Structure formats: C-alpha cells, structure tokens
Chain A
Amino acid sequence: MRSPKLWTRGLRHEQDDLRETLARVSESEHRFRELADSAPVFIWTANKDGLIDFINRSWLEFTGREQREELGDSWTVGVHPDDAESVRDSWWKAFRAREPWEREYRLQRHDGSYRWIVDRGRPRLVDGTFAGYVGTATDIHEHKEMEERLELAYRRDHEIAATLQRSLLPERLPAIDGMELEGRYLPATSGAAIGGDWYDAVELDETRVAVVVGDVVGHGLRAATVMGQLRNAFRAYALLGSSPAETFGRLNRLLALDRGDVMATALYALVDRDSGTVEYCSAGHLPAVVVGGGGARFLERGRSVPLGTADHVTYRDAHDRLEHGSTLLLYTDGLVERRDVALDERLVRLGEVASAMEGDLAAMCDAIVEDAVGEGAPDDVALLAVRLSPATEHLSLRLAADPAVLAGVRRRIERLLRAAGASRHEQYELTLAICEAAANAIEHAYGPVDAEFELEVRLSEGQLAATVRDRGSWREPRHETGEGTRGRGLGIIEGLMDDVEVTRSETGTTVRMLRTLTSSGDG
C-alpha cells in the first residue's frame, strides 16, 4: 500500500511526463508539418473533435485557398456539390467509430475545375490515446478518367458480345413434329466471361433431327464470332447428311484452316424420331444425359479431343437409344463446373434434379438451371433438352387454308403411318389422298381471309380413317375440259382409298376416307 506522499510524488512525476510528452509531440508536430509541406501529396490532420487542424502546402496550392479557410469543418466547401453530403456523412461516421476512412470525390481546383481525388484518413494515437486523424489525398483524375473509359469500353464489349451471342442462337427452337425441344441460355453475369456457347436443332429429314451444343474456348467478342461461324458451318455440314463424327472432322479442318488458335468443345447427337436411335460424337465435351424411368445415365462413349486441337483428328461415332418419353440433355460446362465442387458430384446432382422433374420439359429445364446457377452464372450456361413424343395414332389439326401448310401435314401423316408400320407405298398413297382432300379444302376457302380447315387422321386396328372438313362451297370438277386439277384430285382420292364419302352442305364440305393397311413395312 502506497503512502499519500508517495502518491503525490507519483502524480507530479506523471505531470512532468505529460509535459515532456507534449513538448515532444509539439516538436515532432513541427517536424511533421515541415515534412508534410514539402510532400507532393495532400496531407491533413484532424483533432480529436474531428476538425481539421492542419492542411499541407500542396493541398493549399491545389485549392488556391488560405490555411485558415480550410481548417475546422469548412474543408468540404471545395468538394463537388454532388459529392459533398456523402463525403461529410462518411467522414463523421468513420470518425465516430474511430475507423480508417477512405473516399473518392471531386475537389475544386484553384482554376475552378473539379478533379477526382482519393482521400484517406487513419486514427492517430499518441501513447495509446486517440488524438485525431492524419490523412493523405492524391489527385487521381487521369487515372479515374482512364478507368471510366476502360469501364465503358469493357461494358460495350460485353454488350456487343452478349448481343451477338443472342442473335446467333436460334431465337426460337424449331417446332419439330414428334419431338419436344427446350433450350436455355444464360449469359455469364460477370462481364468478361461472356463466351461462345451455342445450341441448335436442325430437322435433317423425315426421321432424323440433329441436335448440338458447343462451347468456344475463350470469352468476349472473338469467342462469340467464332461461335457464329461454327454454328453456320455445323448446319451446313449436318444438312449434307454426314454422321456426327464426319461433321466434326469437317468442322475441325475448318477451324484448323481458318485460325489455328481457336478451340471449341461440342457434342452432336443425331436422333431418329421413329426408332429412337441416337448417333453421337463428343469433341472434348461433357457427356450428354439421358433421363427417363426415374433415373439418369450418361452417354460417355464417342469421345475425342476438342475441335481445333490438331489438324487431323479422327472422330468416332457412338450409338445409343432414346426411349419415347425419355429426355436427352445437352449442356455446356457453365452448368456444372464450380470451383468448390467436384465435377462428378455436379453431374450426379444434374441427373438427380432432372429425374425428379420428369413431367414437363420446360419445368425440368427451369429446375436444372435454377439448381445449378441459382443467383448468378459465373460462366455462360447453355442447356438443350430433347424428348421424343410418344408415338401417336391420332392427328387432329386445325390449319390455315394456305398451300404452304401442306408440306408439314405430309410429314405428320407420314410419321404416323411409319410408326404404324405402313409400307412405303402405303405411306405415299395415303398421304397423297389425304393431302388431295386438304388441297380441295384450301381451294374452297376463297372469300374469308384467314380461313381454316380441319383434318383428322385416326389409326385403329389396321385401318386408317381420315376426315377433311372445310367451310367453303364445293367446286364441281371440270373433267370435260381436262384442266380441272381438283377433278383429278378427287379421282386420285377415290382410286387410292377403299371408301370415300363426300358430304356437301351449306356450311361446307366434308370428305371421309377409309383404307385398311395391308403390310407392316415392306419398304
């Protein structure tokens, strides 16, 4: 226990210490200010009440004002009116919390112009006691302007790439009879990552449909343009009827010819709508997934290197089968690659999410994208889902009275007949007879604009029943002149069908046709 005497002596000692310290501070402050005045950066100090008590010469030369004009809390006078309030607010907030402060704002120069500066302050402690702030500021105007120009250029680049990307993707997937198609494309949410992802579906002939997903390695405008070239070249080669492997061989040579430094991964599946066979080839691409019957499996064969890796690559086709009602999923790596999760896990997860949503194809795609991407896509994401519609034995169509619909009608009738095992002769003859009746209906539809007609085809127990109904008035065949093509049309219908019944009334004409199928695929 201390005696009172000792205590007072202790106090006196402490007071002496304080005086010495103050002297030291004052001396060091003097040195500090001298040093500060000769520094090219702006330097300031604030006292423990948050008021400016020193501004160095560089700052005063910049603003063209006197030291006393800048002290206290009047220093914000020169701050740009748009920035002033937020600068003051942030300063007092940081000050109250005794936290470091940093702010970029525009400050008026002596010539009246505003320049961007960055201003930073840190709490100042003297022997462990808060004594105010010391801060430095730098003119970053050129830097800031450059940054803005870069940002603008970068944003523009991103926008162009995104626009290009969108314009190159099929705006709407084609409506393909016997098949459901859903596509999803999400551009990367962060600027630079926009890339060369694409998907496409092309109906090659009555049975086969080419579906493809690809990813040009790299990002930005260049990747998007290369993607456009690849997509067009793909369509051209696919329409030639070459197999997936042959098509990739050609695309690879094209890339090697054109620009040796571009690479792309792609997966091409050639789907037969009738048999469900799938011929596919992967150029370094992630495996397609088949979802059906509550499970998922991966098409992992037919793999080779990406397009553009070597001048001569022999790609190989693999074969699989897609059941009616099951779904084929093609996608790009953006859907499954995450830095923190193993790829295998992500693929398994993709299969699980898809299998849980087998009902509606659009809903399945939404669920997959939602699960994989959630709040934002770090990379481009493309997803193409293909599902074979169950074989139909019934067609019921309401069609525009326009000859242009006939080709589509033929496809649908032919598909229905092929699925039923009709011979080549039967396919042609029945399709022709029904379409002759449809052509009649179209020709009757003079007068009202946007006229329509109805067509129904039903197969049951080996017999085909077709009905074509219009709301026009029947034109009498003009057999005698030999020029009535519709007259010949009716003759063809009667010659090809077992039974034909034409009902004409005030409200329109109905043609009913029947024919028994004899064969199950002799051609």
Chain B
Amino acid sequence: MSTLADVALERVDSWTVARVSGELDMTNTSYVRDQLTRSVPGDVDGLVTDLSGTLYLDSAAIELLFEMARRLGRRRQRLRIVMPPESPLGRVLELTDVKAVAPIHPTLAEALASG
C-alpha cells in the first residue's frame, strides 16, 4: 500500500491506461511496479502511463519507466507516456532520454489515437 501515489487502471480500446497520481519515489516504486505489471494482459497493444496527475517522480520512477518499456518490448507490446507540455516533470524526462524507449504525448487522446 502506498499513501503517496495512486494508480487508477482502465482498459481503453486496445490499451491499458494507468493514471498515476501523487508522488513517485524510491519508497513506492515497487508498489507501482506491481500495479503496472499486473494490469497488462496479453491481448492489448500496450500500456499508456498517464503522468498528467503525477506531482513528483524521482530517478527510481524513471528507472521503472525504462523497466516497463523493456518488459513490454519483450512481449511485443508498447509503452506510451502522457505528459502535458506545461508539466514541471518534463525536463527530467528529457534529461534521462525516456523518449528513446517510450513516446511522450501531451494528452491521453493523442496517445491513444497515435498509430
């Protein structure tokens, strides 16, 4: 259980959407990892991790994004990330080059619509 972050899961079309709200740090990444890995069945295209409601994420959470991309890749599934352009988190995703493993979309609709 984590009090800092909350993960809301939903199936939208052929994707699993995970809305992560609150704060992600080294104390709750394993909780979030469990939530995410359990939520992606074999018949979906992949996982959209929506960080619109995420207030804080640290290097442990960035590492989790890389790990999820690797896991999904092995199953021929994909990871997409939603992050509004005005989010303070943007620079860190840029610095760590997350887009090399998962495309970053400004809205959930765009993430789902993207080919």
A residues with a Cβ closer than 8 A to B are 403-404, 406-407, 410, 424-425, 427-429, 431-432, 435-436, 439, 482-483, 485-486, 488-489, 491-492, 495-496, 523
**Additional A-B contact list (13), CB under 8 Å, known A407-B25, A492-B96:** A403-B26, A406-B26, A425-B91, A429-B88, A429-B91, A432-B58, A432-B92, A436-B58, A439-B25, A485-B26, A485-B59, A486-B59, A523-B86
Q: Which residues of A contact B95 (CB under 8 A)?
A: 491-492, 495-496
Decide yes or no: A485 and B60 within 8 Å by CB, A406-B25, A410-B23 being known contacts. yes
Task: Give min CB distance, A208 to chain B, whole Å.
Answer: 15
B37 close to A (CB within 8 Å): no
* Residue from B23, B56, B92 within 8 A of A492 (CB atoms): B92
Task: Give min CB distance, A269 to chain B, whole Å.
Answer: 25
Tell me, in angstroms, the Cα distance from A68 to B89 when the chains sit together.
Answer: 104
Q: Which residues of A contact B63 (CB under 8 A)?
A: 483, 485, 488
Task: Give min CB distance, B77 to chain A, whole Å.
Answer: 20
Task: Give min CB distance, A435 to chain B, whole Å.
Answer: 6
B27 close to A (CB within 8 Å): yes
Tell me, in angstroms, the Cα distance from A435 to B26 when the chains sit together.
Answer: 10
B62 close to A (CB within 8 Å): yes
Tell me, in angstroms, the Cα distance from A404 to B4 when the chains sit together.
Answer: 11
Task: Give min CB distance, A66 to chain B, whole Å.
Answer: 83
Task: Give min CB distance, B33 to chain A, whole Å.
Answer: 13
Q: Which residues of B contact A435 (CB under 8 A)?
A: 25, 58
Nearest chain A residue, comparing its CB with the CB of B57: A432
Q: Which residues of A contact B60 (CB under 8 A)?
A: 439, 485
Nearest chain A residue, comparing its CB with the CB of B96: A488
Q: Which residues of B contact A431 (CB under 8 A)?
A: 56
Count of inter-chain pairs, beta carbons less than 8 A:
66
Is B89 touching A428 in the complex (CB atoms < 8 A)?
yes
Is B88 touching A428 in the complex (CB atoms < 8 A)?
yes
Tell me, in angstroms, the Cα distance from A407 to B60 when the chains sit together.
Answer: 14
Nearest chain B residue, comparing its CB with the CB of A442: B26
Tell me, in angstroms, the Cα distance from A436 to B80 when the chains sit together.
Answer: 25
Nearest chain B residue, comparing its CB with the CB of A495: B95
Decide yes or no: A407 and B4 within 8 Å by CB, A432-B56, A488-B62, A489-B59 being known contacts. yes
Tell me, in angstroms, the Cα distance from A486 to B89 when the chains sit together.
Answer: 18
Name which of A424, A482, A488, A491 has the most chain B CB atoms within 10 A of its CB.
Answer: A488
Name which of A427, A431, A439 has the most chain B CB atoms within 10 A of its CB.
Answer: A439
Is A439 touching B56 in the complex (CB atoms < 8 A)?
no
Q: Which residues of A contact B88 (CB under 8 A)?
A: 424-425, 427-429, 523
Tell me, in angstroms, the Cα distance from A407 to B4 when the chains sit together.
Answer: 8
Nearest chain A residue, comparing its CB with the CB of B4: A407
* Residue from A404, A407, A496, A523 within 8 A of B92 (CB atoms): A496
Tell me, in angstroms, the Cα distance from A407 to B22 when the chains sit together.
Answer: 11
Q: Which residues of B contact A406 (CB under 8 A)?
A: 25-27
Tell me, in angstroms, the Cα distance from A488 to B88 when the chains sit together.
Answer: 18
Decide yes or no: A404 and B66 within 8 Å by CB, A410-B56, A436-B59 being known contacts. no
Nearest chain B residue, comparing its CB with the CB of A406: B25
Is B92 touching A429 in the complex (CB atoms < 8 A)?
yes
Task: Give min CB distance, A108 to chain B, whole Å.
Answer: 69
26 residue pairs of the A-B complex, CB under 8 angstroms, read A403-B25, A406-B26, A407-B4, A407-B25, A410-B23, A425-B91, A428-B56, A428-B88, A429-B92, A431-B56, A435-B58, A439-B26, A482-B66, A485-B26, A485-B59, A485-B62, A485-B63, A486-B59, A488-B59, A488-B96, A491-B95, A492-B95, A492-B96, A495-B92, A496-B91, A523-B88
Q: Which residues of A contact B89 (CB under 8 A)?
A: 428
Q: Which residues of B contact A485 (CB under 8 A)?
A: 26, 59-60, 62-63
Quick one: CB contact mask for B28-53 with A, threshold 8 Å, 1 for yes? 00000000000000000000000000
Nearest 3 pairs of A and B residues by beta carbon: A428-B88, A495-B95, A489-B59
Q: Which residues of A contact B96 (CB under 8 A)?
A: 488, 491-492
Is A439 touching B92 in the complex (CB atoms < 8 A)?
no
Q: Which residues of A contact B86 (CB under 8 A)?
A: 523
Q: Which residues of B contact A495 (CB under 8 A)?
A: 91-92, 95
